Structures are given as C-alpha cells and as structure tokens.
C-alpha cells in the first residue's frame, strides 16, 4: 500500500462546510477521512452519507460502548450509511462485540452492502498508567492493550485502535496476521503532544507496523494542508 493511503485524516471541525473543504483539498492525497464525535454531533448522519456517496472512504469514529443490542443495532446503521470502517470499545465486552459482528455480517450479506471493517478501541492515547488506575482498569498500559486486543480478535473484530508504542506487542500476541492496527497520537515532531500522553512520528508508527495512522490537528490546522501531508509522508 502507498504510504499516503495509510493516513486517515480526522475531520475534527465544527461544521459540515469546513469538513467539505478539507475533503476537497485532500481527496486522493490521503487514504480516508474520519468523522468523530464533534462533527457527527454537529452535522449528523446526513453528512456521513453525503461523503460516502461521493466515494470517500469514511472511518466513523463514534467509539460505541453500550449494551450489546444497542451497539449491534447502531453498528448495522453505520454499515448501511456506507462507511469503510467504524469502531466500538473493546471494554464493552465479548458479547457486545460478537453480537455486533454477527448482526453486521448478517445485514451486509442480506442487503448486499460492503461489510465495513470493525475496529476495537483499546486504551485511549490520552490515557496513561495514572488514568488506568483512576478508573480501575489495570495497572500497565501495554498489558491492558494486549489483553483487549486479544479479546477483540477472539470476537471476530478486524483490528484495534492503539498507540504506535503497543503495535509490536499486539502483533506478537494476536495470531491473525491480517489483524489491523490503527494508531492515533501522531506528531510531525515529538515537541508537540496536545492532549496525547503517548505519541510517535509517522515514520516510527509505520516502522512499528501500524497499518493506518489517524492524524488530526497537525494536518487540519496547517495553513497548507496538502504540504503538511507531504511533509509527514516525506519523513520516510
């Protein structure tokens, strides 16, 4: 895969128009666009459908975490909206993930729609050991990520979101060689971290084996976004 296609640009903006402007500027220069909580709450499912109908690959990043029936039904709607990838929190449990995979598979088969990739969120890159202790979710970030990644793989998910620091450990622990790793927390230089506690550069993430990297602010806030993408890819 071409390096630029490994980049998923986070459309973390307030309005549909800003998101349209970014997709116009970067379509064909990156692999996909991510619609997360901010834009979805502001502009809704209509915008998701507009982008998928226009042929954009969309990662719907709503990090579903609820009872199994609710997550499975929301996931079926995500599939119907034509997204390429969406995610659920692995900490929602095995039954939640299995019902989701089963219902999405069943609906996509019956309605002849492309089956989206289903990705599990492990430990957010804004979390560290202190945060894990605070919420009673284990002591060690890497151990927790590996444990959740193995559970996601057992339940039939296609991959996980993790920090690039944990990609090697996930690869070692999960036997499925096609299991994907999607990694946010990417910065052109490690001087800026924003709210991430675990960051790497694009080059380090790819060297560690990340399949896709999610990049928001370093690209969308740049005065020349295409130049920002080229500089990031140019690191390698």
Half-sphere exposure of 26 (CA within 13 A, CB side): 32
- Residue closer to ligand C5P (CB basis): 30 or 215: 215
Query: In the 8-state DSSP scheme, what is residue 105?
Result: H
Distance from C-alpha of 72 to C-alpha of 229, rounded to nearest angstrom: 35
Q: How many residues bind ligand C5P (CB under 6 A)?
A: 15
How would you label 214-235 residue by residue, b for 16+ Cβ within 10 Å and e otherwise?
bbbebbbeeeebeebbeebbee
193 binds ligand C5P (CB under 6 A): no
Q: Which of 4, 63, 168, 197 is catalytic?
A: 63
Interface region with ligand C5P, contact rule CB under 6 A, candidates 44-52, 90-98, 145-153, 210-218: 210-218
Tell me which stretch binds ligand C5P (CB under 6 A): 147-155, 169-177, 216-224, 226-234. Answer: 216-224
CA 188/CA 200 separation, integer angstroms: 8
Sequence-separated (6 or more) residues with CB below 8 Å from residue 105: 115
What is the rounded CA–CA span in Å between residue 13 and residue 80?
24
Judged by CB under 6 A, does residue 12 bind ligand C5P? Answer: yes
The reply to whether 216 sits near ligand C5P by the rule CB under 6 A is yes
- Tell me the backbone φ, ψ of residue 124, rounded to 5 degrees: -60, 145
Q: Is 25 helix (H, G, I), strand (E, B) or coil?
A: helix
Beta bridge partners of 118: 86
Interaction mask 38-77, ligand C5P, x per CB under 6 A? -----------------------x----------------
Interface residue with ligand C5P among 13, 19, 36, 208 (CB under 6 A) is 36
**Minimal distance, residue 80 CB to ligand C5P, in Å:** 22
The reply to whether 63 belongs to the active site is: yes
Which residue from 52, 56, 100, 125 is in contact with ligand C5P, where contact means CB under 6 A? Answer: 125
**Catalytic residue annotation:** 63
The residues of the shown chain that bind ligand C5P, judged by CB under 6 A, are 10, 12, 36, 61, 124-125, 161, 184, 194, 196, 214-218
């Amino acid at each position: 895969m071409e390096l630029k296609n490994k980049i998923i640009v986070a459309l973390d903006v307030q309005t549909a128009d800003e998101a349209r402007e970014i997709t116009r500027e970067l379509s064909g220069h990156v692999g996909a666009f991510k619609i997360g909580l901010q834009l979805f709450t502001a502009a809704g499912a209509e915008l998701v459908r507009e982008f998928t109908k226009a042929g954009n690959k969309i990662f719907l990043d709503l990090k579903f975490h609820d009872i199994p029936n609710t997550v499975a039904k929301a996931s079926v709607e995500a599939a119907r909206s034509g997204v390429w990838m969406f995610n659920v929190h692995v900490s929602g449990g095995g039954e939640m993930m299995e019902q989701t995979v089963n219902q999405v598979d069943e609906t996509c088969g019956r309605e002849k729609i492309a089956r989206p990739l289903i990705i599990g969120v492990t430990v957010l890159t804004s979390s560290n050991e202190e945060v894990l202790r605070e919420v009673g979710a284990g002591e060690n970030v890497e151990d927790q990520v590996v444990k959740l990644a193995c559970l996601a793989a057992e339940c039939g998910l296609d991959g996980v979101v993790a920090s690039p620091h944990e990609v090697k450990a996930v690869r070692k622990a999960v036997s499925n060689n096609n299991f994907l790793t999607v990694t946010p927390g990417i910065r052109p230089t490690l001087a800026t971290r924003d709210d991430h506690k675990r960051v790497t550069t694009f080059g380090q993430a790819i060297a560690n084996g990340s399949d896709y990297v999610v990049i928001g602010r370093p690209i969308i806030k740049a005065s020349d976004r295409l130049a920002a993408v080229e500089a990031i890819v140019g690191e390698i």
